Amino acid sequence: MGQTVPALMDPEYMHRYAGPPFNDKDADVVLRSSDNVDFYVYGQFLKYMSPLFSSLFDQTTSPPPPWGRPEHWCLPEHSTTLDPLLRLCYPQESVQLVDCMVTLELLKVSEKYQLRRMVLNLKKRLRELIRAEANPLRGFVAACGANLEEEAAWAAQAWSTAPTAPNQGIVAWIPEMSQLTGGQYYRLLEFRTHFRRTGRALDKSIIVRAADVVKEETPDIDMHTNRAAHPFALPTETTDLVLRSCDGEMFFVNKTVVTIAAPKMADMFDQPDLPLHQDYPIVSLPEKAQVVRCLLEAVWPTVSACTLDAEDPWNVALMLNYADKWGMIKASTEITHVWQMAVDSLDAFECYLAATRRGGWGEEADTCMRYASAIRHTDRHSLQLEIVSASVYHRFLLYRWRMRLAVFEELKKELPGDIGDEQVARQLLYWADNDNDFAGTPDVIPGAVSGLCLLISRKCDASSALRRIERIWTQLLTRIALFAAHITEGRARNVDQIEAAIKTAFKQIDPGCPDDDG
């Protein structure tokens, strides 16, 4: 090897030099990491290992580097990833891989740069590390990241058989699990629940990549009528502009009205040499026809209502994004009203996921989480879980468990002695709660679930489900209070006092919880 480059800061580029063997001045290629560390490498090694690097180095169109300096290529990876990756490419270097998450990161980068032989070796090593991992959850995350179904099932079973308390299904959380999708986390909990009850593994995929199941993230708004039937399908006496959607539909509109309703769109109207359609200038929009139609209907003076379907909360959230993008205040107001209808009348959990995905909707997401924690008794899969991070789903589950546990602990105070198998009782507070789970357990357990109706203000009590929940809660709480009063000769708390104590506990968990029922 030739003379090495001095390991000091370059005042022009403010970069650092990697350590040996990647500081050889005779190298013909420099790979610069995201943290500005320069790796001096021999391109032939990389070209031999990767067809992508071979194509990159052979087809470069950049001018010759000045003063005989090698070409510099900026890569998005950090130096702590590039260093072991490049060492694996060099024939005289070796890397001891002992951590499954580090190996997973190297595998992903190797796949990205088409280092085919390295991909095979890293997958083999990753399988070994997953089965040797002390924490099965880390192994599960690594297996999902590498799409190793067999290893994912093995790690899920290892975690399911670990001698842990029942609540470990939700409370057991490590930072690496945020790399999972909500769907993968759901299936991990589903696997654990099924295995602990039956002793058998689930006969289905645990990983299920999001790309295999997620629909296109554009609102599938029901047009209700044919394409020519909306109010903007034909020109009128006030038409002086045409908006064209990205899928080619024409909307005949009035420029002044659109300028007032969507001020951020107005800059596009004064572009020179706009194409014409029936002598009207055409402005092309990047949105599909369903989106354009809904936005126009929400602001147009002669249209009474838009065709936005409120049965899909994500559609509504997306439409709000579009309205905000174009500065359409009236449209935002109309669509927000539709959103509130969805929260009040549909699955609040779906609304929680949609609000979380939208971004910047922390308050709305918290409101939906409160409603969902009271209403959603049976955990079931949602397509949106395949899009959000597992941390979003975990946040909801942990919140719901803490609120249920608050009710459970307060009700226990009114019952003398042993209320039954408390370990079984507590387990039912965590995940996959349904009516069958309550068979043979004390009434205090379904009461702890039904008691969460206290979170819901009276304005949301129009649904039959909430009325049923509140009846169950009221009947149970009355029985408990009367029983406690009998055995304590009237010294026990009454119903109002028990409810007040539960609400105080709720406030300690969630300061944003409603103060009263009215």
Q: DSSP per residue over 411-470, as a string? A: HHTTS-S--S-HHHHHHTTTSS--GGGGTTS-THHHHHHHGGGGGS-GGGTTSHHHHHHH
Query: What averages of pLDDT result for each successive group of 10 residues across the chain (518 residues)?
Result: 40 72 88 92 88 80 56 89 92 87 96 93 96 94 95 93 64 91 92 85 76 49 47 91 94 94 90 89 92 89 73 84 92 86 79 86 86 75 91 92 81 62 46 39 54 50 60 75 74 82 86 65
Distance separating alpha carbons of residues 62 and 50, to the nearest angstrom: 21
Whether residue 373 contacts residue 399, with contact meaning beta carbons closer than 8 Å, is answered with yes
Handedness of CA 400, 401, 402, 407 (dihedral sign): positive
Unique residue bearing structure tokens 């039956």: 198
Q: Is the peptide bond before 70 cis (omega within 30 degrees of 0)?
A: no
- Kindly report the backbone phi and psi dihedral angles of residue 362, in degrees, each rounded to the nearest multiple of 5, phi listed first: -60, -45
Distance separating alpha carbons of residues 316 and 221, to the nearest angstrom: 9
pLDDT of 6 reads 32
- For 107, the 3-state DSSP assignment is helix
Domains of the chain, each with CATH number or no CATH: 13-95 (3.30.710.10), 122-214 (no CATH), 241-343 (3.30.710.10), 390-509 (no CATH)
Q: Is 285 left (phi over 0), alpha (psi -120 to 50) or beta?
A: beta
User: How far is the CA of 505 from the CAs of 115, 314, 487, in angstroms?
Assistant: 55, 32, 25
Whether residue 438 contacts residue 446, with contact meaning beta carbons closer than 8 Å, is answered with yes
Distance separating alpha carbons of residues 374 and 450, to the nearest angstrom: 7
